[in-house]
Every structure is written in structure tokens, then in C-alpha cells.
Structure 1
Amino acid sequence: MSEQIPQKLIKRINELAHKKKTVGLSKSEQAEQKSLRETYLALFRKSFRSDVEMMRVFNKAGQEVTPEKVRKIQKQKGLRDD
């Protein structure tokens, strides 16, 4: 199951973005904003990768057409036995 991005993190990012648009940010707030954004992106990428790795793709005829690269990862993680 994919990891959720904490709402606290999103809330703080949005607070800093709003403050930047209205009154501006101090140097420490700019550094905090950069760090929070990097953390957000890392968590998003991890979650997205996990979602894609869990996915199985089928065509209209019902045949599995999951890409070989994804199948290999699923086998390594023990999610497939074929």
C-alpha cells in the first residue's frame, strides 16, 4: 500500500506559498519551503512508484499486457508467481 503524504506537510507548504505571495519570506522560511517541497516530491515519487508497481494492465480481450519491467519488479517483491 502506498504511503500517504502528511496533511501537516501540505498545510505548511501552502502557508509558506501564501505568505510568499502576500508579504514575502525570510531566508530561513525560503530554506524551509525548499526543504518541504523536496520532502513532498520524494514522498510523492515513492507513492507513485509503489502504485505503478502494484498495477496489472489488461487489454480489451482480457489478456494481461503489464510491461515486462513492471512484471520483473512484481516478481522480485513476491507479488507474482508466474
Structure 2
Amino acid sequence: MDNGIPQNLIDRINELAKKKKATGLTVKEQEEQKRLRATYLSMFRENFRSQVEMLQVYDKDGKEVTPDKVKNIQRKRGLRDD
């Protein structure tokens, strides 16, 4: 599944996590780990926000019940005609 986060970023985060458990990290590596995690979280949040903003919700009768807040965001982005 493509989550929009580069695989090399995830690989490096995992590599540092394994090293931290095995032998510990240098100060420079700790700083890198903190920076990479912040980057990952930022990208994850943006991707998640984008997915939620594209969401349309329907009840069991087929009537759209998408929250107004999401509808307004979709209108601003030109994703809705109504």
C-alpha cells in the first residue's frame, strides 16, 4: 500500500530503532532519529488529512451524510459541485 511516505525514510527509522535497542545511539544519531520521526509524523498527518477530506459518508439508505466541515473543505478544493 502506498502511503506517500518514502520507503528509505521508514527503513532508516527502523534501522536506528534496531541499533538503539542493540548498542545505543550516538548523540548525532539521536538527533537524526528525532528529525526523521518528526518528518514521518508530518507526512503521515498530511496524508491522513487528505484521505479524510476526500471521504464521502453514506447511511444505510444511500443518503449522503458527509459532515458539513468535510463538505466545505471539498468545495474549497473544487472537489464538490453542490
* TM-score normalised over the length of structure 1: 0.96
Cα RMSD for the two superposed structures: 1.2
SS at the partner of 2:24? Answer: coil
1:21 is matched with which residue? 21
2:59 is matched with which residue? 59
Which 4+ residue blocks in structure 1 deviate beyond 6 angstroms? none
Q: Check if 1:45 corresponds to 2:45.
A: yes
Q: CA deviation at 1:3?
A: 6.3
Q: How many residues align?
A: 81
Percent identity between matched residues is 62
Q: Give 5+ residue unaligned stretches, structure 2.
A: none
Which runs of structure 2 are paired with 1:4-19 in the superposition (5 Å)?
Answer: 4-19=4-19
Which is bigger in relative contact order (C-alpha 8 A, separation at least 6)? Answer: 1
